[in-house]
Chains A and B, each alone.
Chain A
Amino acid sequence: MKKNYILLFSLVISLSLLIFSCTDNDDEEQYIPVSPVVVDLTQVPYPKLSDYKFFEGDMKNQTPALNVLPYEPASSLFTDYAHKKRFVWMPIGTKASYNGDGNVLDLPVGSVLIKTFYYDNVQNVTPVGATRIIETRIMIRKTSGWIFAEYVWNAEQTEAFLDLDGSFTEISWLEDGIPKSTNYRIPNEVQCIICHKSEEMVNGSEVIKHIPIGIKPQNLNFNYNYNGVTKNQLTKWIEQGYLNNNFSLPTAENTTVNYNDASKSVELRARSYVDINCAHCHQNERHCDYRPMRYAFSETANNLTNMGVCVNTQDMQDFSPSLSKIVSPANINRSMMYHRLNTENEAIRMPLHGRTIIHTEGINLIKDWINSLQPCP
């Protein structure tokens, strides 16, 4: 009887959670609402996405359950125009710690990062114009480190199943009214690792650690709309009990911007763009640290060399000699960076993974940025 009462109460609480304060409780007993999320570290990854109980109601609506907190980075990685919904969940009583504005928050064991990839206005589904969720990627923090789980949604959009082998799926959609299509890549586990890793040589052998990318204070330091309540995401995480309150919010200089925000400077937008799209490989101890670019936002302030400006291209095989600089000021035709962002050729394109079609808005931003640069000394 009491059990049912708690259940009923939980339901009421969760429906009204974001409107009423949960601590305002005038019953004689104190009820702490319980998150339905189940993450048994000895059993994950589960075979089905629904097994985690991250979502309430119809799973395709992606309505987060209690303590499943939505978040968003200021700039997001371009993945063939897929839309994304991101959530974080941590076990009760645990919290993340701050480790620098430009470094990933250190999340406690048991934490989960959830990212769902979907398209609106899809043309090759019934009914035409519907939303299609393709995949939900999950990272789970175990004692041994982060693991990856990949859930591929069924055609009915009722469930997603664990599949780390990778696959392709054709999708066509309208992007601002313009028809686009791609053979969308759902990644294999080793593809997850390329970007989500740090690597260092210890006593002559390579030690690889899996890491998240987006959850850096520099990326979260802006207001997010939590069902009508607008709040700085870092502040929200602290209030939620998800983050230690032992740091100051990043300064404006240390905060990335939305690269689509035309009110910001081209330089800031370009730096934010390469940070989220390129820096996971092009910085020290990352997949492609053997190239000279250092695209992390914290390394590109007043540092055009780290942005590749006037820096020689290293491998010129099969490229036009005109591309001998990574970035040639005011000349996109002589900039290898522009050339590699502006192609669908698999052996040339950048990034190598996650993109198969050209990001028109991104390439226009990079063009504006290159055209704004002063000649090489």
Chain B
Amino acid sequence: MKKLLLLILFMTGFISWSQSTCATAVPVTAGNTVVVSINGTQIPAPLCAAENGGGATFGKWYTYTPTINTTVTITTDITANTPRVDTRLHVYTGTCNTLTCYSGDDDSGANYSSIATFNVTAGTTYYIGWDNRWTSNGFTFQIIENSQTPTPSSPINYTTQSISTINSDYNICVVDMDGDHKDDIVGVNNNNLKVHYQTATPGTFSITNFPLTGVTYLPTWSLAAGDYNKDGYNDIVLGSGSGLSILRSNNTGTAYTGITPGQYIFCQRTNFADLNDDGNLDIFSCHDIAPNVYYLNDNAANLTYYQTSVTPGAMNLGASGGNYATLFTDFDNDGDSDVFISKCSGPPCELIRNDGNGVYTNISATAQVNVTPIQTWSSAIADFDNDGDMDIIITASAGTHRFFRNELNTSNSVEEAYTNITAGSGWDTNTSTNIDNIAYDFDNDGRVDVLGAGGKIMFNQGNNVFAPINYPGISVGAVGDLNNDGFLDIQNGTTIKYAIPNGNNWVKVTLDGIQSNKNGIGARIEIYGAWGKQIRDIRSGEGFKYMSSLNAHFGIGTATAITQIIIKWPSGIVDTIDNPTINSVVNVVEGSTLAVGEFATNGFSIYPVPAKDILNIKIVDGISMKSAQIYDLTGRMVLESNLTNDSINVSSLTIGNYILLMKDDNGKAYSQKFIKE
């Protein structure tokens, strides 16, 4: 009797001691196991459920060795725990000396209890480590074998690279900064611009720091990029709660100057857009608490401040407050960018049509997208059904999502209402909500997907139906192709999630505007092939906060040929590329595919053809030209002239094709291709 008691005491002591470390972990099998308290000396590491960081001081260890290949769930979200206990679970393979994370969970269950589901192999030992990140209190956990169907396979998978040198205060921008059309990583402090330039070696970046002065406001709310001074290097706008600052490149991309215009703005989404279609990028900012504001670019990158409904002559770009995100894209396929404003504080979202010449008309009621109540900080906008027009998913920041199909019919002059097709689209059952929501083809299957809330990509299944796949550790960030493999990657702070090519084919289109703005922001790109048609618009400022690539990415799935790429520039110029190579980067200089004399928007003609030393220019009556610039077909400016005697000496140019860009006294641009022999 005494011996038995001793034995029990000994065993109890042994058991509580024996779960203290990985080496002394107690084997468990399917069913319930009681954990008296978290008091073991070995703290589980590395953290497999790491999203809430370290801070645990004790651990508790078990091993589980299944006898069959199956899927198991380890859960503390069970009635044995009433109320639920705030547990955290880490699951490892390997040995106690080389623990490798295999699964884990912190908070998936009710009241922060844990649920982890993973596939197991018979005979393999899995180490189960609990820690006291939140509480040392005891609980019961359950191992359920074969309880779940295996999770569906993902159409695209990601690898992770951590780059510790991405350490600026704000790291929310992926865009080309050196003019090589490859996406770079941009970080901003108040006194420093740090660029991780993409090199020829994937995953390797070269770092340049640019000292800054004049930066009063930092991008606490959003950041946008665009080459508004048209020197071949992107400039940056930083949107804060008190106003905006601009980082303007010098003409060689070797220095940046901070410019703070000074107006009070509670910035939300900022954008670069050519608001008045004059070929110059303007700067736009959503205002949270007042009508929207913008700075018009005068053709020499001098900026003039306007506020809708306040400044005399201001454009009608959102007259009430509560503006969270603007997205500039062409909804009616008329060649200019319209605007969608996501709103949250009462008034409905606004669809504003660009009627040209700086005239904007709010057509939200006609389009029937003015539903209330609505709560969105940004909307996902793309041609989700590949029928050639931009559809709108008003992705909710709270409440429910709304999916509107564009019913555009350009054969009449009627403004068609959009159709609410939320029911059955997958958006009706998606209860996750987010501030940032962005539309890209993440798996290159030829259909545009949406990345929004909670580590979930809503994959476009075709026919306007979406299905979620969860990616632990992925959230909205800056998006671009950071290893130049044609698949879109996601940068979030120091972490880059590289898409692993899944065999789908693709094409990437990069632009150099001549008569239009340098980036081709506002250009429509169409690709044609076995799938029919796909479209993209170049936009500066998707979603709410981040700045993503200004290149156009298309996946084409298993198709093996693209018959044609068409670029419709904001200037009206249309470039056409037949039978481009798939899985390649296609760079298009505005007008480069046109024949001499084919330009539609001429204010002048040139002779002789071809030109040798002197290029003579005959200007249409009534137009007074001020400047002339000559670009080669890589988009590089090679000659600038003040235009005397209606002729330009081109003897210094090498033989080849060039584009002559002329601007009149009002800053209006005209271009022509010519041949130098």
Contacts and interface: CB of A to CB of B under 8 A. Distances in A.
B398 A190 contact: no
Interface in A278-320: 287-291, 314-318, 320
B433 interface: yes
Contacts of A347: 220-221, 241
A318 B475 contact: yes
Contacts of B398: 290-291, 314-315
A317 B112 contact: no
Interface string B99-124: 00000001100011000000000000
A316 B86 CA distance: 19
Contacts of B454: 316
A194 B372 CA distance: 21
Contacts of B87: none
Interface residues of B, number: 41
B54 interface: no
B550 interface: no
A345 B344 contact: no
Interface in A333-360: 334, 345-347, 352
Contact of A288 (B321, B345, B433): B345
B220 A345 contact: yes
A290 B221 contact: no
Given A288-B345, A324-B107, A375-B83, A317 B434 contact: yes
A165 B264 contact: yes
B415 interface: no
A14 B552 CA distance: 76
Contacts of A169: none
Interface residues of A, number: 36
Contacts of B346: 199, 201, 206, 289-290
Contacts of A168: 242
Contact of A290 (B220, B344, B453, B475): B344
Given A201-B346, A201-B347, A352-B241, A317 B320 contact: no
A206 B51 contact: no
A317 B373 CA distance: 22
B240 interface: yes
B220 A321 contact: no
A191 interface: yes
A315 B264 contact: no
Interface string A315-332: 111101110100000010
B516 interface: no
A321 B397 contact: no
Contact of B397 (A193, A205, A314, A345): A314
B220 A317 contact: no
B434 A331 contact: no
B398 to A, nearest CB: 4
B56 interface: no
Interface in A162-194: 165-166, 168, 185, 188, 190-191, 193-194
A316 B220 contact: no
A128 interface: no
B134 A331 contact: yes
B364 to A, nearest CB: 10
B586 interface: no
A376 interface: yes
A191 B264 CA distance: 10
Interface string A188-227: 1011011000010100111000000000000000000000
B240 A346 contact: yes
Interface centre among A168, A199, A321, A324 (most CB of B within 10 A): A321
A377 to B, nearest CB: 8
Contact of B345 (A185, A193, A290, A352): A290
A346 to B, nearest CB: 4
Given A166-B264, A188-B264, A321-B52, A346 B220 contact: yes
Interface string B593-635: 0000000000000000000000000000000000000000000
Given A316-B454, A317-B435, A321-B107, A346 B475 contact: no
A175 to B, nearest CB: 24
Nearest to B51: A321
Nearest to B493: A318
A70 B106 CA distance: 54
A191 to B, nearest CB: 7
Contact of A320 (B52, B220, B242, B453): B52
A202 to B, nearest CB: 11
Contacts of B397: 314-315
Interface string B252-265: 00000000000010
A190 B264 contact: yes
B289 A190 contact: yes
Contacts of B375: 290
Contacts of B434: 315-317
Interface string B325-360: 000000000000000000011111000000000000
Given A191-B289, A317-B476, A201 B372 contact: yes
A375 B81 CA distance: 14
B112 to A, nearest CB: 7
A34 B548 CA distance: 66
Contacts of A346: 220-221, 240-241
B290 interface: yes
B445 interface: no
Interface in B530-581: none
Interface string B217-242: 00011000000000000000000111
B112 A316 contact: no
Contacts of A201: 346-347, 372
B438 to A, nearest CB: 12
B391 interface: no
A190 B111 contact: no
Contacts of B266: 190-191
Contacts of A191: 264, 266, 289
Interface centre among A165, A190, A191, A199 (most CB of B within 10 A): A190
B345 to A, nearest CB: 6
A236 B398 CA distance: 46
A165 B263 CA distance: 8
Interface centre among A185, A322, A375 (most CB of B within 10 A): A322
Nearest to A345: B220
Contacts of A194: 289
A317 B453 CA distance: 7
Contacts of A165: 264
B436 interface: yes
B241 to A, nearest CB: 5
A6 to B, nearest CB: 47
B671 to A, nearest CB: 42
Contacts of B264: 165-166, 188, 190-191
Given A191-B289, A347-B220, A352-B241, A317 B111 contact: no
Contact of A314 (B242, B348, B433): B433
Interface centre among B83, B112, B375 (most CB of A within 10 A): B112
Nearest to B262: A165
A190 B307 CA distance: 13
A248 B475 CA distance: 55
Contact of B289 (A193, A205, A289, A376): A193
Contact of A322 (B52, B289, B348, B377): B52
A316 B453 contact: yes
23 contacts: A166-B264, A185-B242, A190-B264, A191-B266, A194-B289, A199-B346, A201-B347, A206-B346, A289-B345, A290-B346, A314-B433, A315-B397, A315-B435, A316-B434, A317-B434, A317-B435, A320-B51, A321-B106, A322-B107, A324-B107, A331-B134, A334-B86, A376-B111
Given A190-B289, A190-B290, A347-B221, 7 more contacts: A199-B346, A206-B347, A288-B345, A290-B346, A290-B375, A315-B377, A320-B52
Interface of A: 165-166, 168, 185, 188, 190-191, 193-194, 199, 201, 204-206, 287-291, 314-318, 320-322, 324, 331, 334, 345-347, 352, 375-376
| Interchain residue pairs A-B with the least CB separation, the first 3 | A314-B398, A346-B220, A188-B264
